[in-house]
Amino acid sequence: MVQTVFFAHANGFPSATYGKLFAALEPDYRVLHLAQHAHDPRFPVNDNWESLVEELLHHLGELDEPIWGVGHSLGGVLHYHAALRRPELYRGVVMLDSPVLTLADRVLIRAAKRFGLIDRITPAGRTLGRREHFGGIEEARRYFAGKTLFRRFDPDCLDAYVRHGLQEAGDGLRLRFDPATEISIYRSVPHTSPGRPQQLKVPLAVVRGRHSRVVLPHHARLVRRVPQGLYLTLPGGHMFPLERPQETAELLRRVLTRWDGSTEGEESA
C-alpha cells in the first residue's frame, strides 16, 4: 500500500520548488502538499504561527489516513506543532533543518519581539526591500543564480523556483509568494509551543544541514527527549533539501522505512 507524505515548504518557497524531491519519493510514497502556506485568507498569519498550524490541521483532517509529515524550515515547525496537538493525524514527523527550540531560544525570541529586534535575529531584515519584479524568466534566473542563498541549489530546483516562484504581472513577472506575508511569518516565529518534546506521541526526526546556522548542535538535546527521536545530518546548509534533493529523498526513505518496520513490529507483538 502506498503511504502518504504531506510536505510543508520553507517560508517563501512554493511547494512546486521541491518537485525533484517529490519525484524521488514516488511511486513508493504519495506526496501531498499545499501550493503555498499562509496565503489562505481564512488562516492569516498571526503570532506563534497558530493560524498556520490551524491551516495545516484543517487539510490533514480532510484525509482518510494518518500521514508522514515532512517539512522544511517553517514547514517542519508547523508539522511538529500540529503533531503535538493532533497526534492521531500522523505516523511520524521529519523536520528538515527546522529547530526544536530550547527554553533559552524561546526566551530570546520573545524578548526580541517585545523590544522590536526580531528583524535582527530572523531573515525578516534581509527580506525587507528585496526585489519583487522581473522583466522575464531569463532575467530572473540570472538574478537568483547570483544570490548566495541559491548558489548551491540543484539546477533543476533553481529552475523550478524560477518557473513556479514567479507569476505574470503586467508586462513582467512578480514573486508568487507575497513578500509582506513572508516578512510577517518571520516576525511571528513561535516563542511558545503546544507541548514539550517528551509529550510527542509519534516518531520525530530532525535532519540538520551540516553547515546550517538555523539548527544548531544544542537543539539535539530536545530531540533526544522524544521517545522515538532521531537527530541526523546531511551535507549542505539550511537549504539542503533544494541543494541535494536526491540525497534528501534517500534519507527520508530510510527513516520512514525504519519507522514503518518498527510500527509493524509493535502491532504484531
* CB proximity list for 116: less than 8 A, separation 6 or greater: none
List the Cα angle 141/35/23 in 5-degree steps. Answer: 75
User: How many independent structural domains does the chain possess?
Assistant: 1
Whether the CB-CB separation of 234 and 244 falls below 8 Å is answered with yes
Cell representation of residue 29 = 510514497
Closest CA to 58 of 76, 81, 74, 82: 82
Joined together, the cell numbers standing for residue 23 give 519525484
* Domain carrying residue 233: 3-268
Are residues 68 and 92 in contact, defined by beta-carbon separation less than 8 angstroms?
yes
pLDDT of residue 262: 63
H or E element at residue 252: helix 245-268
Q: What pLDDT does residue 263 have?
A: 52
> Which amino acid type is present at position 28?
D
Rg of the chain on CA atoms, in Å: 18
Instruction: Give the residue among 13, 3, 19 at the shortest CA–CA distance from 63.
Output: 3
Q: How many CB atoms lie within 10 A of CB 97?
A: 24
Say which CATH number the domain at 81 has. Answer: 3.40.50.1820
Report whether 99 contacts 122 (CB < 8 A). Answer: no
8 A C-beta contact, residue 235 and residue 247: yes
Instruction: With H, G, I as helix, E, B as strand and everything else as coil, classify residue 31.
Output: strand
| Angle (nearest 5°) at CA 175 between 171 and 176 | 105
Residues 6+ away with beta carbon under 8 Å from 260: 3, 91
For residue 269, the model assigns a pLDDT of 28
Question: What is the residue whose three cell numbers read 533559552?
Answer: 104
CA atoms in the 13 A half-sphere facing the CB of 71: 28
Cβ atoms within 10 Å, residue 193 = 17
| Model pTM score | 0.95
Which conformational region is residue 116 in: left (phi greater than 0), alpha (psi within -120 to 50 degrees), or beta? left
Alpha carbon distance 156, 202 (integer Å): 33
pLDDT in tens, the chain (269 residues): 889 999 999 999 999 999 999 999 999 999 999 999 999 999 999 999 999 999 999 999 999 999 999 999 999 999 999 999 999 999 999 999 999 999 999 999 999 999 999 999 999 887 877 889 999 999 999 999 999 999 999 999 999 999 999 999 988 999 999 999 999 999 999 999 999 999 999 999 999 999 999 999 899 989 988 989 999 999 999 999 999 999 999 999 999 999 998 654 443 32
**Rounded distance, CA 134 to CA 247, Å?**
32
